[in-house]
Amino acid sequence: MNGPRKAAANSPVHDGRWTPWIYLAPALTVLAALLVYPVYQLGLISFLEYTQAQVSGGEPTSFQGLGNYTELFADSQFRYVLLTTVVFAAACVTGTLAVGCTLAVLLTRVRALPRLLLMLAALGAWATPAITGSTVWVFLFDADFGPVNRVLGLGDFSWTYGRTSAFALVFLEVVWCSFPLVMVTVYAGIRAVPVEVLEAAALDGASNWRTWRSVTAPMLRPVLLVVTVQSVIWDFKVFTQIYVMTDGGGIAGQNLVLNVYAYQKAFASSQYSLGSAIGVVMLIVLLGVTLVYLRLLRRKGEVL
């Protein structure tokens, strides 16, 4: 009688190892249904000759193998856009984390009313649709009617004309609409840090910066992992802000990123196979960055 009971008690389901997966199963099923087939179609089209002629049914679809990827990486413009996207995304992630973490610490040091007002203002920026926020920012920095140029005395300086100034403008807008998630998440994490630990650091004479770097930040690594990975994914695939604020990629394509470049290839040039190949490259890059980051944290024992 004790044998079956003991075996059941030692089973993976009974000892709790599979309990999280049981709870996650419904969400994973929905995500699989929504993501697996589109990703499959994306990968399939990237191996085919798929242009407007194939869409219209005028010519048969032919298998290209890695031909589309070979053509893509042989294109100097694609390599340039890929490098630009990586640098721009890294800058946006760094700026978002810096602003979000700084304001999260500030929230812990202000009174209830200023904290409430700051939270409402941040959540308002977060809730604003990307296309609406981008349009407002373009107006604010408009060369003729924008209030920013008038306040700064820049005259008719056009922010979207130069490559660097246009990227700087988009960078500010991306950070503005992205930092609230980091701020709220990190603020919740800071509130979860035991007060006794912070008091012990203060008694030892640690400064605010030293307390954050040596005590708070290490305890917030799991939280910072989540917001960093999310920021990398969001900022690497920025589309709306670039497309709206630079009018489709800037003058002569000087402000192109991969998502806008893929859109131009697929829909402006009707080269759907090349656009799909760019999408697959973006997917592989994002998966690679996420897996490397998770592996590094796992080696440090921060995640299971």
* 185, part of any domain: yes
Give the domain range for residue 178. Answer: 49-299
To which residue do tokens 């060369």 refer?
Answer: 143
β-bridge mates for residue 63, sequence order: 48
CATH number (domain holding residue 111): 1.10.3720.10
Residue 31: φ, ψ to 5°: -65, -40
pLDDT tens track for 255-286 = 999 999 999 999 888 889 999 999 999 999 98
pTM comes to 0.84
The total number of structural domains in the chain stands at: 1
For residue 136, pLDDT beyond 60: yes
Which residue type sits at 165? S
Does the residue 41 lie in any domain?
A: no
Question: Each residue of 88-121: pLDDT tens digit?
Answer: 999 999 999 999 999 998 998 899 999 999 999 9
Report the alpha-carbon distance of residue 264 to residue 246 in Å, rounded. 14
Q: What is the pLDDT of residues 152-183, one digit of tens each?
A: 888 889 999 999 999 999 999 999 999 999 99
Please check whether residue 15 lies inside any domain of the structure. Answer: no
Q: H/E/C letters for each residue in 138-178?
A: HHHCCCCCCHHHHHHCCCCCCCCCCHHHHHHHHHHHHHHHH
Of all residues in the chain, what percent carry a pLDDT higher than 70?
91
Establish if 128 belongs to a structural domain: yes
With respect to residue 36, please indicate whether it lies within any of the assigned structural domains. no
Q: What are the tens digits of pLDDT across the range 232-260? A: 989 999 999 999 999 988 888 899 999 99
Q: Is residue 111 situated within a structural domain?
A: yes
